[in-house]
Amino acid sequence: MSNSDVAKCPKSMLPEYAFIGRSNVGKSSLINMLTSRKSLAKTSGRPGKTQLINHFLINKNWHLVDLPGYGYARVSKSSKKVFQKFITQYFAFREQLVTAFVLVDIRHTPQPIDLEFMQWLGENGIPFSIIFTKADKLKPKAIENHVKAYKDILLETWEEMPNYFVTSSSKDIGKEDVLEYIDSLNINMKTN
Ligand code: GDP
C-alpha cells in the first residue's frame, strides 16, 4: 500500500519497521535485498517525485515501511531547521512502529543532517538502529574507522552507541543480521 497521507496508512496493528535515509543512500536496494526481490522498492527515485509512504506486508507478520528521504522543510521567517511534516507526522502517529532503521552511506564522514535526524528521533522517544550501506565500497579497516567516526560523534550526546548493522546490497552482506534482529523484536513483542 502506498500513501501520501499518514492517516491513510494501514489500520493493521502488525508491528512495523521503518527504513529511512537521504535519497541515494541505497534504501531501495537494501529493501530489495531484505525481501529477496529484484524490484520491490524502486531504485534511484527521481528527485521531486511524489513522496509516498510504502507499506510492504512481510510473511503476514510485520510491515516493512519504505519512507521518503528526509530533508529540511522550508520554514519561512525562521532559521530553525525542521524535517518535513510528512516524516514527522509518520513518527508521531504510527503506534505500530517498533523501531526505525536510519540508513547511512558508510563511505561518508558523519553528515549533519543524518546526525540531526537521529537526534530528533531520540528527542521524540523513537527507537532506532543505524544501517550502514554500501560496505562493499570500503576495505575492512576503513569500515571500522568510519563506524568509529560515528560512534565518537554520537557518544558526545548519547550514553551508548545505537544498535548498528554494516550492510551491502550488492554483496548481500548484513541481510540475515537485520532480519534476525527484526524477528527477535517480533518474538519479544508476542511474549511480552
Ligand atoms: P535510494 O535512493 O536510497 O533508494 O537508493 P538506491 O537503492 O536507488 O541506490 C542508489 C545508488 O546506489 C544506485 O546506483 C545503487 O546501485 C547504488 N547502491 C545501492 N546499494 C549499494 C551497495 O550496497 N553497494 C554499492 N556499491 N552500490 C549500491
- Whether 43 has a pLDDT exceeding 70, the answer reads no
Q: Report the separation in Å between the CA atom of 28 and the middle of ligand 1, taken as the mean of its atom positions.
A: 7
151 lines ligand 1 (CB under 6 A): no
Tell whether the torsion through CA atoms of 82, 74, 20 and 136 is positive or negative: negative
Maximum mean pLDDT: which of 34-43, 47-56, 104-113: 104-113
Strands 97-105, 82-83: parallel, antiparallel or unpaired by DSSP? Answer: unpaired
- Whether 76 has a pLDDT exceeding 80, the answer reads no
Q: For residues 78 and 89, which has the higher predicted lDDT (pLDDT)?
A: 89
- Smallest CA-to-CA distance from 13 within 186, 192, 188 is with 186
Q: Report the separation in Å between the CA atom of 161 and the middle of ligand 1, taken as the mean of its atom positions.
A: 25
C-alpha grid cell for residue 47? Answer: 528527485
In a 3-state reduction of DSSP, which class is residue 81?
Answer: coil
Q: For residue 92, what pLDDT is reported?
A: 93
Percent of the chain with pLDDT over 90: 73
DSSP string of 10-77, one letter each residue: ------EEEEEESTTSSHHHHHHHHTT-SSSSPSSPPTTSPP-EEEEEETTTEEEEEPPPP-EEP-TT
Which mutation among 24, 32, 51 tests ligand 1's pocket best, with the greatest number of atoms within 8 A of CB?
Answer: 24
Ligand 1, atom 12: closest residue by C-alpha: 26
* Each residue's pLDDT tens digit, 127-161: 999 999 999 999 999 999 999 999 999 999 999 99
Which ligand 1 atom sits nearest the alpha carbon of residue 168?
23
What letter represents residue 70's amino acid? Y
- Name the pTM for this structure: 0.93
Based on the number of CB atoms within 10 Å of its own CB, is 32 exposed (0-12), middle (13-18) or buried (19 or more)?
middle
